Amino acid sequence: MSQVAAASGSEVKSALSQLEQLKRFTKVVADTGDFATLKEYTPADATTNPSLILKAAQMPSYRGLLERAIADSRKSTLAGQALLDHIMDELLVLFGVEILKIVPGRVSTETDASLSFDTPALVNKARRFISLYQQNNIPRERVLIKIASTWEGIRAAEVLQKEGINCNLTLLFSLVQAAACAEAKAKLISPFVGRILDWFKAKTGRDYTPLEDPGVVSVKEIYGYFKKYGYATEVMGASFRSKGEVLELVGCDALTISPNLLHELKESTDQVTRKLSPEMAQGVKIERIPLNEANFRWLLNENAMATDKLSEGIRLFNADATKLQQYISALL
């Protein structure tokens, strides 16, 4: 989405690509498990999820990581489902370790979607991931544990943050989820832009410009709320459907972007304009949300889109995790 020159009506060009311009205002994060993509676009951080790892694990170039995870896990006395769970944990961390050899910052590693409503299990899984990373000489500061933004997931993040284990609260579709994460002092949240748009397009049957895109509007609201009330939690827009959505959120703390959109940004030299800043957010008119479990559940329930997309996202991630386990089981 280029900026239009008032005088001539022509597109304003820059010596830098849109990707490089974006990096001046926002931390660029790659939403991929593919190492070649990370090397090409040089993001600060990287995020993964079960869907991305499933795709990567089936590629010949990553077969070695899968074989290593299987070999390491076979040294244990585990069998059956316990062995599969062990291999999955090893594989996710091995991908993370390799990613951290490329990116200078952090990697997000996702907890099991099936644990989304089990606070103690999420805490234990996060501790397990951090232990595996430490065995590979990766300090916890370079790892974000991804947890679904359920009430139970947010409570797990609250426990983990007190232990110095940083969390990325994902599958986030509403202000009440975001506010609860901030109150729990989560390190980072990932509001999903594209999936919100998908829901509204399906319901209304209409298209939206990037400026009026419901997912973009949601992230702007969350960003404004956080900056207005002084929350330290980072806002990282995720799940983009178009370059236009990305460019409407320039200035957000971070944006995690898929390889195809990173390519589009790299290929264009149209001018990029900052749309968000802490200073701009101070004038936002938005009331603080009173938070407790009952109010959280009620407000989430009243938001049909967020309720639908949260439950759907958990199901989809769990389905891909199951497919990955089945793939590993066949190799065993």
Alpha carbons 298 and 289: distance in angstroms, whole number? 12
Helix ranges, 26-150 (H): 35-41, 50-57, 63-74, 80-100, 119-135
Residue 145 near residue 160, CB atoms below 8 Å: yes
Among the listed residues 27, 125, 146, 309, the single catalytic one is 146
Alpha carbons 131 and 122: distance in angstroms, whole number? 14
Residue 256's nearest CA partner among 244, 242, 243, 238 is: 238
**39 catalytic per annotation:** no
Residue 108's nearest CA partner among 157, 66, 152 is: 157
Residue ranges per structural domain of the chain: 18-62+81-331
Residue 255 near residue 237, CB atoms below 8 Å: yes
SS3 137: coil
Per the DSSP assignment, residues forming a β-bridge with 45 are 29
Residue-wise pLDDT for 42-101, tens only, equals 999 999 887 888 888 888 888 899 999 999 888 888 889 999 999 999 999 999 999 999
Residue-wise pLDDT for 267-276, tens only, equals 999 999 999 9
Handedness of CA 190, 193, 199, 203 (dihedral sign): positive
Residue-wise pLDDT for 249-268, tens only, equals 999 999 999 999 999 999 99
The tokens of 260 are what?
A: 């195809």
CB atoms within 10 A of CB 49: 24
Please provide the distance, in angstroms rounded to a whole number, between the alpha carbons at the two ends of the chain. 48
18-62+81-331: what fold?
Answer: TIM Barrel (3.20.20)
Residue-wise pLDDT for 148-165, tens only, equals 999 999 999 999 999 999
- Residue 212: CB partners within 8 Å, gap ≥ 6? none
Full-model pTM: 0.92
173 or 6, which is more confident: 173
